[in-house]
Amino acid sequence: MNMNERFEAYIASDAKIEPKDWMPDAYRKTLIRQISQHAHSEVVGMLPEGNWVTRAPSLLRKSILLAKVQDEAGHGLYLYSACETLGVSRDDLIADLHSGKAKYSSIFNYPATSWADMGTIGWLVDGAAIMNQVPLCKTSYGPYARAMVRVCKEESFHQRQGFQILLALCNGTEEQKAMAQESINRWWWPALMMFGPRDEDSQHTEESMRWRIKRFTNDELRQKFIDMTVPQAELLGLTIPDPDLKWNEERGHYDFGEINWEEFYHVIRGNGPCNKERIAARQQAHDEGAWVREAALAHSKKRAAQSSTHAA
């Protein structure tokens, strides 16, 4: 058996790969792409919500939203650290985000235009993310799996607080309920797109499944998400904006309408409503924070130099 065959057999036995273990270049590259994309999504994901921190309707809602945004920052950091164990530097990862070479979840290229969106993002966007992330707790690369365990523990609060925002609006005035419905109308389809292209169009699925990086296909997860979400929408009294959505007794699943794949690829290629704004905001934060990073490093170097003089 050569190295490659040994690796494939090892993975097939459901064993975990750790940073210093031998791995094929393609496995390493796939992981770097997926983990960094995941980290970037957490970080860019702070932007639409950060937009509402100062406009949350109460002090409690503001505290909750702040805690959620802080969690997203934390998730980004766990994932960047996991990615760096593959031998890539944090600076390179961030440079790839800013240059557009690395992608992040397309969902964050849509604007959050009403308070109800904070509810919908928690319920649908974090709900879809959880669906994707729970199987990743068992992914074959150890550091990624461990980071995902932490992320998943924290993500559940995000979804519940979102649902509760919508519940409050749906039990409120006519205008509040209309605000919630309008929000669902905008976010439903982009949320379904979060699971990625159809299985037959997904270039990475087959290999990632064999390497046990992914444990379920895009279409399987999308169907699971829809089946779980429809009853929750009924509970809220909101209508899912899909005339073709119907329970299929035979399949034991909901049938649903055709996703607008043209829109999906349009947004991925950088032409969504907020792509340019999101990257510009990240780039600006990075540039304006440069002096802080440099000053902190200069300070620590100076202190280290002082203490070594004292010691001598």
Partner 1 sequence: MNASNAWPLWEVFVRSRQGLSHRHVGSLHAPDAEMAIQNARDVYTRRQEGVSIWVLPASAITASSPADKDCLFEPANDKIYRHPTFYDLPDEVKNM
Would you count residue 62 as binding partner 1 (CB under 8 A)? no
Q: What are phi and psi of 255, to 5 degrees?
A: -85, 150
Position among 7, 27, 52, 78 found at the interface with partner 1 (CB under 8 A): 78
- Least distance to partner 1, CB of residue 44, Å: 18
CA nearest neighbour of 140 among 152, 148, 132:
148
Position among 20, 200, 288, 310 found at the interface with partner 1 (CB under 8 A): 20
Please, which residues bridge with residue 255 across strands? 246
Would you count residue 3 as binding partner 1 (CB under 8 A)? no
Position among 42, 49, 72, 84 found at the interface with partner 1 (CB under 8 A): 84
Would you count residue 91 as binding partner 1 (CB under 8 A)? yes
Asked if residue 133 lies in contact with residue 92, where contact means CB atoms within 8 angstroms, the answer is: no
160's torsion region: left (phi>0), alpha (psi -120 to 50) or beta?
Answer: alpha
Distance (Å, rounded) from C-alpha 301 to C-alpha 6?
46
- The stretch near partner 1 (CB under 8 A) out of 84-92, 96-104, 186-194, 200-208 is 84-92
- Least distance to partner 1, CB of residue 143, Å: 8
Tell me how far apart the 2 most distant CA atoms of the chain are, in Å: 81
The position carrying tokens 């994707």 is 132
**What residues numbered 138-197 form the site for partner 1, per CB under 8 A?**
146-147, 150, 154
Position among 10, 33, 62, 81 found at the interface with partner 1 (CB under 8 A): 81
What's the Rg (C-alpha) of the chain? 22
The position carrying tokens 């990475």 is 204
Tell me 121's DSSP state. I
- The stretch near partner 1 (CB under 8 A) out of 105-113, 116-124, 256-264, 298-306 is 298-306
Position among 22, 178, 253, 285 found at the interface with partner 1 (CB under 8 A): 22
Would you count residue 263 as binding partner 1 (CB under 8 A)? no
Q: How far apart are the first and last CA of the chain?
A: 57
Distance (Å, rounded) from C-alpha 218 to C-alpha 27?
19
Would you count residue 290 as binding partner 1 (CB under 8 A)? yes
Would you count residue 70 as binding partner 1 (CB under 8 A)? yes
3-state secondary structure of 112: coil
- The stretch near partner 1 (CB under 8 A) out of 26-34, 242-250, 261-269, 291-299 is 291-299
- The stretch near partner 1 (CB under 8 A) out of 28-36, 85-93, 219-227, 237-245 is 85-93
Asked if residue 35 lies in contact with residue 83, where contact means CB atoms within 8 angstroms, the answer is: yes
What is the contact surface with partner 1 in residues (CB under 8 A)?
18, 20-22, 67, 70-71, 74, 77-78, 81-82, 84, 89-91, 146-147, 150, 154, 290, 293-294, 296-297, 299-300, 303-304
